[in-house]
Amino acid sequence: MLLILVLPAYLANASPVILGGGAPVDLGRKLGDGRRIFGDGKTWRGLVGGIAAGTLTGIILAYLVPGTSYTIYPSAGAYVEAGFLASCGALFGDLAGSFIKRRSGMKPGRPYLLLDQLPFIIFALLFLAAFGLLPALSLFDWAVILAATLVLHSATNWMAHRLGWKKVPW
C-alpha cells in the first residue's frame, strides 16, 4: 500500500532528469541577496514533465489497483487526483529544497544531506493530506516512507549518474 501511495511522487521527482531541460523556472532571476531563486537545474520542461509523469502514474494505478487487496481510494478518479496532487507536491517540495539551498549559499548541483532527498516526499504527502487523500499512516509507516525514500533516492541518483543522465551522483 505504501508504494502505491508514494509511486506518483517518486516518478514525478525522478522524471525531470530525463524530461527536463530548457528554460529555468526562475527565468534567471535573482533575489535581493544576489542569488538565483532556484538555479538552472529546475526547468519548466522538468516541472511540467514531472507533474505529467506522476499524473500518468495515477491514471495507470486507477486501472490496476481498484478491487485488489492494495486498494487505497474509493474510485478511479481519486487515484488520478492523488497522482496529480502527489506530483505537484513532489515538484514543489523539490523547488522548496532548491530555494533553501540557494538561500544558504549552496551552489547548484552540490549535495545537501536530507534537503536533497526528503522535501519532495514530505510535500507530496502534505498535498495529499490537504485535499483529504492521505490515508491514515502510523508512525512506522512514516518512518518506512522516509527511510525508503533516502535509500531509493540515493540509489536512483547513482544509477542515473552511471547512465549519463545526471552530471553528479546525488
Backbone angles phi, psi at 43, to 5 degrees: -115, 160
Three cell numbers written together for 19: 524530461
Domain ranges of the chain: 2-136
Query: CA 65 to CA 21: how far, in whole Å?
Result: 33
As a whole-number percent, the residues of the chain with pLDDT over 70 amount to 100
Backbone angles phi, psi at 15, to 5 degrees: -65, -30
pTM for this prediction: 0.92
Q: Which residues contact 70 (CB under 8 A, 6 or more apart)?
A: 1, 4
What per-residue confidence (pLDDT) applies to 69?
Answer: 86
Query: CA 127 to CA 27: how far, in whole Å?
Result: 26
Is the pLDDT score of 107 beyond 80?
Answer: no
Q: Are 20 and 46 in contact (CB under 8 A)?
A: yes
What per-residue confidence (pLDDT) applies to 111?
Answer: 84
Backbone angles phi, psi at 56, to 5 degrees: -60, -40
Three cell numbers written together for 47: 516541472
DSSP 83-94: HHHHHHHHHHHH
In whole numbers, what is the pLDDT of the chain averaged over residues?
A: 95
Q: What is the pLDDT of residues 58-99, one digit of tens each?
A: 999 999 998 898 899 999 999 999 999 999 999 999 999 999
What's the pLDDT band for 139 if we cut at 50, 70, 90?
very high
Q: What is the pLDDT of residues 19-38, one digit of tens each?
A: 999 999 999 999 999 999 99
